[in-house]
Amino acid sequence: MQAAEITAPEKAHVVEVEKPAPGPGEALIEVAAAGVCGTDLHIFHGEYEATYPIIPGHEFSGTVVAVGEGVTRYQPGDRVTVDPNIPCNRCPACQRNAPNQCENLAAVGVTRAGAFAQYVVAPEGNIFPIGDMSFAAAALVEPLACVVWGLKRVQVQPGDSALIFGAGPMGCLLLQAVKHAGAARVIVTDIAPYRLEQAAALGATETILADDRQEQRLKALAPGGYDVVVEATGLPHVLEQAFSYARARGKIWVFGVCPRDARASFVPYDVFRKDLSIIGSFAVSRTFHESIALIQGGAVRVEPLISHRLPLSQFVAGLDLAERDPKRMKVQFAIS
């Protein structure tokens, strides 16, 4: 089969490899669509805990074509997506029902072969049926499931005002999910006008360009501050700014992935005096069901977020697009 392999940092090729076979309790899936995520770029640049060589790709959809011994819930022809995270189910974090904090977390496309390939193998318990959802949409269930996990932690309240830093694919999922969770006003800010147009089309109450009038305009829209401030850029200096926009009793949601060794400073007195909450959310914690339901029910629109669809043969060009194109949103490979 054809697969995109990263053999070492900065080295990727599309190669012919042996088609995998499903082991006991696993299914073989013919990949239809697979999206590029920041994690894939980090793996490409050697900034993430991956084992090389690796076939990346963890946001995907496809059709079951074979099942291993003991698999009862799926059969060839089923249209599915996959929760890539495979917790060990025996460490203290797993025992405390925190599978995303598993000490031995494995993941399709990070620690084992992923979906930038014609076929991928996944454990039965990680597979979810997608009904008649398009394969392109179903490849966005995973990123939305990350948003859903954070939403459960942040607990947006009816009537809340929210400010989101970052209008990329994640910012646009966050915007829709936060609104659906009850926020009355969702303001989105970004340096890229193209991305702000997407956020406006997907229901942002206001979009604000991050220029030298950004602070004045954001503060004018919510003189008392915002109930929820979401950092979705992964830039430490943006997180630092986020504090000054939170209302008393506001919540600061750390969603963007800052570099591992980055530092950001804040004023502890303000956190104390204003009853602020700083809430992180990491990946997915058994939130695929909710994510699928939000897409199927029409609460979150994902297809407008796909800006590029490429064949797998253009893998390296696709990574480059996902990193640099000024009009990029989600880049997907259309595989079968």
Q: Which residues bind Zn ion (CB under 5 A)?
A: 37, 39, 87-88, 91, 94, 102
Of residues 245 and 253, the one with the C-beta less far from Zn ion: 253
- Strands 85-86 and 306-310 come out as unpaired
CB of 270 to Zn ion, least distance (A): 32
Backbone angles phi, psi at 153, to 5 degrees: -75, -40
CB of 283 to Zn ion, least distance (A): 8
Of residues 22 and 114, the one with the C-beta less far from Zn ion: 114
CB of 219 to Zn ion, least distance (A): 33
CB of 7 to Zn ion, least distance (A): 21
Contact 294, 270 (CB under 8 A): no
Contact 5, 96 (CB under 8 A): no
Q: Which two tokens stand for residue 136?
A: 């392109």
Of residues 206 and 323, the one with the C-beta less far from Zn ion: 323
CA distance linking residue 5 with residue 114, whole number of Å:
9
CB of 90 to Zn ion, least distance (A): 6
Of residues 107 and 133, the one with the C-beta less far from Zn ion: 107
CB of 103 to Zn ion, least distance (A): 5
Of residues 36 and 156, the one with the C-beta less far from Zn ion: 36
Question: Which residues lie across from 60 on neighbouring strands?
Answer: 34
Phi-psi region at 171: left, alpha or beta (left = phi > 0; alpha = psi -120 to 50): alpha
Of residues 101 and 205, the one with the C-beta less far from Zn ion: 101
CB of 25 to Zn ion, least distance (A): 17
Of residues 106 and 271, the one with the C-beta less far from Zn ion: 106
Distance of CA 319 to the CA centre of its chain: 16
